[in-house]
Amino acid sequence: MAPTLPHSLPAAAEKQQYVTISALESGQLTLPERLFVTDADPEKKATVPSMAFLVRHPSPGANGRSTTNLVFDLGIKRDVTKYMPAMQTHISNRQPTIHHPDTADSLRKGGLDPANDIDIVMLSHVHWDHVGTPEDFTGSQFVVGSGTIHLLEHGAPPHYPKEIFDPDMLPRDRTKELPPVGKSTTAFSSQTTQKWEPLASFPAALDFFGDGSIYVIDTPGHLFGHVNLLCRIGPNKWIYLGGDCCHDYRILTGEKDIALYDDGHGELRSVHVDTDAAKQSVGHIKTLMPGGELLADGVNKVEVIVAHDGGWREKNKDRFFPGTV
Ligand SMILES: [Zn+2]
C-alpha cells in the first residue's frame, strides 16, 4: 500500500473553481523590531504595509457582476481621528503611519466601487491596522472570526482594554461571526450547514463557498477570532493569506522566533494574546512552506503572504490591483 502523505491539500474537483487574488495598498505603520522578533536590533524600526487583498470568485455577485468579490482585511483608516481616543494614543507610538491610498482608494484605482462592488468583507482580526473604514462598504456582508463581537464590546484586558475598541465599528445587521470550532454554521452561498473540519495540517478549516476554492483557516493565538484564508488560484497553485500569524516573514522561515518582552506588570508577553497557540499556528503554516512536509509531494505550490511583509510588497508591485497575484 502506498504511504499516505499526512497533510495533503485536497485535490481539485472535476470542475474546480479557482479564485483570482490582487493585493491592495491599504496604508503603512512603523513597527519596532524588538517587539516582534528575537535577537532584534533594539533601535531598529521598520515602516511596513498593512496589506488587504481582493479575492474574486467566479460566481455571480450583486449588481449583475460575473464575480463574487471578497476583500480580506481593510488596512488602516484614512482618517486617524476616527479611531477611539485610547487607540490614537497607541498609534502615536507607531509613527510614521501612511493613510493613503487606503483600501477604498485602491479598489477604485482598479475600477471597483467599494460601496457597490464588494459582496463580502472578511477581517482576519480587529486590530486597528486591519479594520480600515468599514463605512465605505455599504453593500457588503462582513464576516469575522469567533469571539470578535465580544472583543469589540468588552475588550480583553489587561493588554486590550475595552477603550481601544469601537463596539459600533461593524454594521451588526450585515455582520456574520463565524462559529467557534466544533459548531456548525450556514454556508455563505446556500442554506446548507457546514462545519469546521481538519484540512492538511490545520485542525479547523471552513470551505467558505462549499466548492474547495477558499478555505477559512482557524488560526488561534494572535487575537481572538484570528482567521486566515487558503485560496486555490489554479491547478495545484494556492495562496495562503496569513494576516498577523506573524509580522515578519523570517518567523515562517525559522530564521527568527516570536519576541517576548516585559508587559509592564512583571510578566513576559508577545504581540500575540496566546503565544503558545500562535507558535502552533505558525507551525501548521510552515508545513505549506518550501521544504515543509506538505510540499513533499512536489505537486502543490503554496505562496504564503502575511499582511505586514514589506519585502513581499517591494518585490511584487505588479501584483497589486488591478494586477493579480
Ligand atoms: Zn494584529
At 26-74, the pLDDT tens digits run: 999 999 998 989 999 999 999 999 999 999 999 999 889 999 999 999 9
**Mean per-residue pLDDT over the chain, rounded:** 92
Give the pLDDT of residue 3.
Answer: 44
Give the pLDDT of residue 158.
Answer: 85
Class in CATH terms, 20-319: alpha beta
Give the pLDDT of residue 212.
Answer: 95
Cα 128 to ligand 1 centre (Å): 8
Pick from 273, 209, 221: nearest CA to 245: 221
Cα 127 to ligand 1 centre (Å): 5
Cα 132 to ligand 1 centre (Å): 13
Strand ranges across the sheet with 141-144:
20-24, 52-57, 68-72, 120-122, 141-144, 175-177
Q: Are 282 and 245 in contact (CB under 8 A)?
A: yes
pLDDT tens, residue by residue, 310-320: 999 999 999 99
| Distance, CA of 309 to CA of 312 (rounded, Å) | 5
Q: Taking CA 70 as the corner, what is the angle to CA 169 and CA 287, rounded to the nearest 5 degrees?
A: 100
Give the pLDDT of residue 289.
Answer: 81
Give the pLDDT of residue 59.
Answer: 95
pLDDT tens, residue by residue, 81-95: 999 999 999 999 999
pLDDT over 90 at 298, yes or no: no
Cα 115 to ligand 1 centre (Å): 25
Please identify every residue whose CB atom is under 5 Å from ligand 1, which is an ion: 127, 244
Q: Are 140 and 121 in contact (CB under 8 A)?
A: yes
pLDDT tens, residue by residue, 119-157: 999 999 999 999 999 999 999 999 999 999 999 999 998
Cα 245 to ligand 1 centre (Å): 8
Cα 52 to ligand 1 centre (Å): 13
Of 23 and 8, the one with more pLDDT: 23
pLDDT over 70 at 297, yes or no: no
Here the contacts of 64-68 (C-beta below 8 Å, separation 24 or greater) are: 65/117, 67/20, 68/119, 68/120, 68/189, 68/209
**Least confident stretch, 113-122, 256-265, 313-322:** 256-265
Give the pLDDT of residue 293.
Answer: 57
Cα 14 to ligand 1 centre (Å): 38
Cα 279 to ligand 1 centre (Å): 15
Cα 65 to ligand 1 centre (Å): 32
Q: How confident is the model at residue 188 (pLDDT cuts 50, 70, 90)?
A: confident
Cα 8 to ligand 1 centre (Å): 29
Give the pLDDT of residue 87.
Answer: 96
Here the contacts of 110-113 (C-beta below 8 Å, separation 24 or greater) are: 110/22, 110/54, 110/321, 110/322, 111/322, 112/54, 112/69, 112/321
Task: Go through 293-306 and write b for each residue having 16 or more CB atoms within 10 A of its CB, e for each that does not.
Answer: ebbeeeebebbbbb
| Distance, CA of 294 to CA of 213 (rounded, Å) | 18
Give the pLDDT of residue 294.
Answer: 53
Q: Are 241 and 45 in contact (CB under 8 A)?
A: no
> Burial, 157: exposed, middle or buried (Cβ in 10 Å; 0-12, 13-18, 19+)?
exposed
pLDDT tens, residue by residue, 215-254: 999 999 999 999 999 999 999 999 999 999 999 999 998 8
Cα 123 to ligand 1 centre (Å): 11
Q: How confident is the model at residue 291 (pLDDT cuts 50, 70, 90)?
A: low
Cα 131 to ligand 1 centre (Å): 10
